[in-house]
Amino acid sequence: MDSNTEQYRFSDFALDLKRNELRRFDDLLPLSDKEVSVVKVLIEQQPDALSHNEIIEAVWNGTSVENSSVEKAIANIRKVLDDNPRNPTFIKTIYGEGYRFIADVRVEDRMALPENALESDSIEVGWRRIPLNRRYAVLLGCLIIVLAFGGFAYFKGGEVWFRMNAKVIFADDFSSERLDKSKWKLLSGKTLKIEDGILKMKVEDADNFPKLTSSYFSFDPNKAMTIKSRIKVQYMQFSKEKTYFGGNFQFIPKTPDSDTHQGMKPLLWGVSYNNYDFEGKVTYEHTGKTVEHLKVEGFYLVRDGGRASTLQHYWDGKVGPRIEPIWGEWFDQKIIYKPWNGDIEYFINDEKKTEYNVGKLREDRIGNQLRFWINPSGWYLHHSMEIDYIEVTQ
């Protein structure tokens, strides 16, 4: 903070740094000293996000307080600012990082302008003074930035524009501590629970695991879709030498038969997590089909109901390249999907891992709708998937 800085202004609010007060017009807002300090440190760290620990260090001077103290402070600040956390104007939650102040902030200084300053050697811009001999350099720099951004957006075919104007079409952060029945349906299994805003799905019995599907959500088939989530996938193998684990984070487009078991399977596409330690042929009694299985260990993008452990599905082009897995640790997962041609890009912790084509949507799809299909599975115990949040934007 500059020693001459008196206050920060954003929207209709003014944060007085000398009095440690937040006002809206002339009204003093009911915030504690700590809460005002939280607003101050978030403003001063723009555009960076601050974690719970960083806020505790800056505001509580590192004293022993719970993360809930930060969460309560943020909640009260949002209430006073009338800021919706799902569509924020001032404070945005950055999953896995913390909180970021996103509003434009103006800085007001103690230094008064000379009476003839605007006529002689300076121009006022947002409570700051810029000498006229720098004015044209600033304007030229802004023009270059605008032209560069416009050219980049043009060559990217409008992708930048779409991302800046993306809208949330499906989201859940599981903060209600119970499964939202308007968004999700548990098809089978009893080992699903939500604790501290984390969705937890466990395999606690051989081949008995929770199967979770979302409600359908509508999308524009002509716009790129971004699916973000924070996930942890793990398998545990105590009693047997071989590992049989699979996890799905996949999608089903709505068609006349997509809600039937047989109609759904060939429609599934998305991410498959695998550690399958078996190789050989198996004939299944209920179908009479013989399937040749492979040993696999990794993450895979799949289409048309593809399984990474099935040899025939590689020949049929249903399984994409192997991705080095992350077991037992939280990671940020991002999928960018282009419905018009079926291309998807897959990212882990913002690093692009692979791209794959899941094929164009079937012609008999209904209303351009998708739903999630999520589950862990296995033949033995203690396999699991945990999800912090899911957000789909377009």
216 and 95 both lie in a single domain: no
Which of 148, 163, 178 corresponds to the end of one domain? 163
Question: What DSSP assignment string belongs to 114-167?
Answer: PTTHHHHTEEEETTEEEEHHHHHHHHHHHHHHHHHHHHHHHHTTTHHHHHHT--
Residue with the bigger pLDDT between 151 and 192: it is 192
Question: Do 67 and 158 share a domain, yes or no?
Answer: no
- 185's torsion region: left (phi>0), alpha (psi -120 to 50) or beta? beta
Structural domain total, the chain: 3
The larger pLDDT score, comparing residue 236 to residue 312, is at: 312
Residue type, 164: M
Taking Cα atoms as reference points, which of 257, 273, 253 lies closest to residue 372? Answer: 253
What letter would DSSP give residue 316?
T
Predicted TM-score of the model (pTM): 0.61
Of 359, 274, 266, the closest CA to residue 308 belongs to 274
**In terms of domains, do 127 and 60 share one?**
no
Q: 250 pLDDT exceeds 70?
A: yes
Q: Both 237 and 321 in a single domain? A: yes
* Whether residue 274 is found in the same domain as residue 360: yes
pLDDT band at 206 (very low <50, low <70, confident <90, very high): low
Q: Are 183 and 129 part of one and the same domain?
A: no
State the average pLDDT over residues 258-270.
Answer: 91
Task: State the pLDDT at residue 113.
Answer: 37
The domain in which residue 319 lies consists of: 167-393
Residues 100 and 188 in one domain: no
| pLDDT tens for each residue of 232-242 | 999 876 555 67
The last residue of one of the domains, among 79, 107, 135, is 107
SS3 360: coil
- Whether 211 and 281 share a structural domain: yes
pLDDT in tens, 321-347: 999 999 999 999 999 999 999 999 999
Residue-level pLDDT at 86: 78
Q: Please say if the pLDDT value at position 20 is more than 80.
A: yes
Q: State which of 124, 143, 163 marks the end of a domain.
A: 163
pLDDT value at position 89? 92
Residues 55 and 120 in one domain: no
| Gap between the Cα atoms of 153 and 252, Å rounded | 31
Dist. CA 364–CA 174, nearest whole Å: 33
Residues 175 and 239 in one domain: yes
Helices (H), 1-66: 33-44, 52-59
Q: What is the mean pLDDT of residues 52-78?
A: 82
* pLDDT at 133 (0 to 100): 45
> Are 319 and 245 in a shared domain?
yes
Residues with Cβ within 8 Å of 293's Cβ and at least 6 positions away in sequence, in order, are 276, 278, 279, 280, 281, 282, 309, 310, 311
Q: Between these two residues, 84 and 161, which has the higher pLDDT value?
A: 84
How big is the chain by its Cα radius of gyration, in Å? 26
Share of the chain above pLDDT 70, in %: 80
**Tens digits of per-residue pLDDT, 346-378?**
999 999 999 999 998 888 999 999 999 999 988
Lowest-pLDDT choice from 29-38, 88-97, 294-303: 88-97
Task: Give the largest Cα separation in the chain, rounded.
Answer: 93
Q: Are residues 52 and 198 part of one domain?
A: no
Report the CATH number that the domain containing residue 321 is assigned in CATH.
2.60.120.200
Strand partners, 245: 275, 378
Residues 75-79 have a mean pLDDT of 91
